[in-house]
Amino acid sequence: MNLEIKNVSKVYPNGVKALKNVTLTIPNGMYGLLGPNGAGKSTLMRILATLQEPDEGSIRLGPLSDSGQAIDVLNQKDKLRETLGYLPQEFGVYPKARAEELLDYFAILKGFSERKSRREAVEALLRQTNLWEVRRQKIGGFSGGMKQRLGVAIALLGNPKLLIVDEPTAGLDPAERVRFLNLLSELGENSVVILSTHIVEDVSELCTNMAIINRGEILLEAQPLLAVAELKGRIWRKLIGKNTLPALEQEQQVISTKLLSGRTMVHIYSPEPPGNDFELVEPDLEDVYFSTMAGFYGNGRQKEVAP
């Protein structure tokens, strides 16, 4: 089973081209959609969740079983919704409701009409998301991480085959973030899980496949580990005074800069040794991301620079 997104475009009435001819094949498992704010991630997530229409394109999910047919997402919205779990960026909660009550309520909406099976499903999800101990507490007192985990519990009702999680770790503290990512990492064996994020580590820690999107365009589709391996020998670093950065940018393909005790650590992309005291870096996914965003790496690019 996979999710096939073909030539999807979306222009908002104000003229913003949020998605430009997006084509992606997303297999089972955790998939990272990585890009900066305004890249078009939420627009794509909302389209996949049937909350918004693209201007063009087609999307198919499935087949869900060996004998079944794929779901035409844009034309069979009800069918898709039966097997969709969606955790939006802004997840509104009812502060006075208790976790268990709210989950039970959503379970009824999702069609669990039989009381016993509903209780079992609710209990299993509360345990899975580590909320069982606090199930009788009011959601208004929950931390950001607890709310997000409750959102996942709701999204998981009915075992969705397509789970969409939009920017889930923004606003979580480091411990909550780790707990939340651990929860997501247990999902996804038998369904398509799409994690949209601007945080590179979310993808490097969790996702077996990924895409990088910017200004509505897919710049790279890759397996994180392979992309990192492909950059070996091409990323170099040097600590410089910040006044010398403009001159360096004229000479080298600078992909990122970071302040380090008042000086600037520069990473550059260079298939050949650049000399000048540059030191070879063991690349990571952040180098993949910045090389792609800077236009030195990405769909079709790596072939141009390969020796």
Which residues form the interface with ligand ADP (CB under 6 A)? Answer: 12, 14, 16, 18, 35, 37-43
Least separation in angstroms between CB 89 and ligand ADP: 7
* 174 prior amide bond cis, ω within 30: no
Quick one: tokens of 228? 């990192």
State the CB neighbour count (10 A cutoff) for residue 103.
24
Helix (H, G, I), strand (E, B) or coil at 19: strand
State the CB neighbour count (10 A cutoff) for residue 16.
13
Residue (39 or 193) nearer to ligand ADP, CB: 39
DSSP letter assigned to residue 40: S
DSSP letter assigned to residue 133: G
Residue (47 or 187) nearer to ligand ADP, CB: 47
Helix (H, G, I), strand (E, B) or coil at 180: helix
Residue (12 or 94) nearer to ligand ADP, CB: 12
Is there a contact between 279 and 291 (Cβ–Cβ < 8 Å)? Answer: no
Cα atoms in the Cβ-side hemisphere of radius 13 Å centred on 295: 2
Residue (35 or 145) nearer to ligand ADP, CB: 35
Q: How far is CA 110 from CA 93, 107, 118, 121, 157, in A?
A: 17, 5, 10, 12, 7
Least separation in angstroms between CB 151 and ligand ADP: 17
Residue (86 or 106) nearer to ligand ADP, CB: 86
Residue (54 or 224) nearer to ligand ADP, CB: 54
Largest CA distance in the chain: 71
Least separation in angstroms between CB 44 and ligand ADP: 7
DSSP letter assigned to residue 261: T
**Can you tell me which residue has the tokens 């064996």?**
189
Least separation in angstroms between CB 167 and ligand ADP: 7
Least separation in angstroms between CB 213 and ligand ADP: 7
Residue (40 or 224) nearer to ligand ADP, CB: 40
Least separation in angstroms between CB 292 and ligand ADP: 15
Which value, in Å, is the radius of gyration of the alpha carbons in the chain?
Answer: 22
How many angstroms separate the CA atoms of 218 and 123, rounded? 40
Least separation in angstroms between CB 14 and ligand ADP: 5
